[in-house]
Amino acid sequence: MAVDQQLKIEMGKQGVFVTTLQELYNWGRRNSVWPMNFGLACCAIEMIATTMARYDIARFGAEVFRPSPRQADMMIISGTVTKKMAPQVVRLYNQMAEPKYVIAMGACAISGGPFKQGYNVLKGIDRYIPVDVHIPGCPPRPEALLQAFITLQKKIDAEALTGQERPRFLDPDAPGEFPVPEPAEHDLEPTANQDVWHAPVVIR
């Protein structure tokens, strides 16, 4: 439950700062999301450009790129995920500490993009791990990545600490790990994690 905005202003005039635990908690987490230093393909160069002086992702508190998944809060899937790489990506995601978020950057990470017809290209990383924000583009501009990041911050801000709507990391029954696909004869096995991905329904 949020504090009444009017009350907050009135109390603020008296020099008293009022907030809820949820707001404070989300404020703290939203402004310090550390991404994982993990580039896959072309989009990785735009991801690096976003961290550099002109676009400067440090303005949003996400400039600390950690090479280790244990220290990272967010994974930017920046490029084509091939069938050889997909198990490693899922494993890296499993190794990250909760709460963790995923941005699928670029057409390849969303759906396979221009390489979708290829025999070795995974048709979207959301078949195996839950994706919070998708950014289209080939590659997306740095501004698009910043926009995705702001969208993620809004999502973090709206997370409830208790109740049915609470996110996965606060739910003891939610799965902590996601099954890692194994290379099989023709494709990865399983071809998708049915808990996070459903084949799109075509409505005619």
* Residues in touch with another protein (CB under 8 A): 37-42, 44-46, 48-49, 52-54, 67, 69, 79-80, 82, 84-85, 88, 92, 114-115, 117-121, 138-139, 141
* Ordered strands of the 101-105 beta sheet: 74-78, 101-105, 133-135
- Maximum alpha-carbon separation in the chain: 70
Which CB sits closer to another protein, 17 or 119?
119
Q: Helices 42-51 and 142-157 sit at what angle, rounded to 10 degrees? A: 70
CB 2 → another protein: shortest distance, Å? Answer: 39
Beta carbons within 10 angstroms of residue 13's beta carbon: 7
> Which of 103, 109, 117, 81 is CA-nearest to residue 33?
103
What gap in Å lies between CA 191 and CA 127, rounded to an integer? 8
Which CB sits closer to another protein, 93 or 149?
93
Q: What is the DSSP letter of 170?
A: G
Which CB sits closer to another protein, 46 or 73?
46
Q: What is the DSSP letter of 195?
A: T
What gap in Å lies between CA 146 and CA 142, rounded to an integer? 6
CB 100 → another protein: shortest distance, Å? Answer: 15
CB 187 → another protein: shortest distance, Å? Answer: 14
CB 88 → another protein: shortest distance, Å? Answer: 6
Which CB sits closer to another protein, 29 or 116?
116
CB 83 → another protein: shortest distance, Å? Answer: 9
CA distances for 136 relative to 36, 126, 160, angstroms: 20, 14, 28
Which CB sits closer to another protein, 22 or 71?
71
CB 119 → another protein: shortest distance, Å? Answer: 6
Which CB sits closer to another protein, 30 or 123?
123
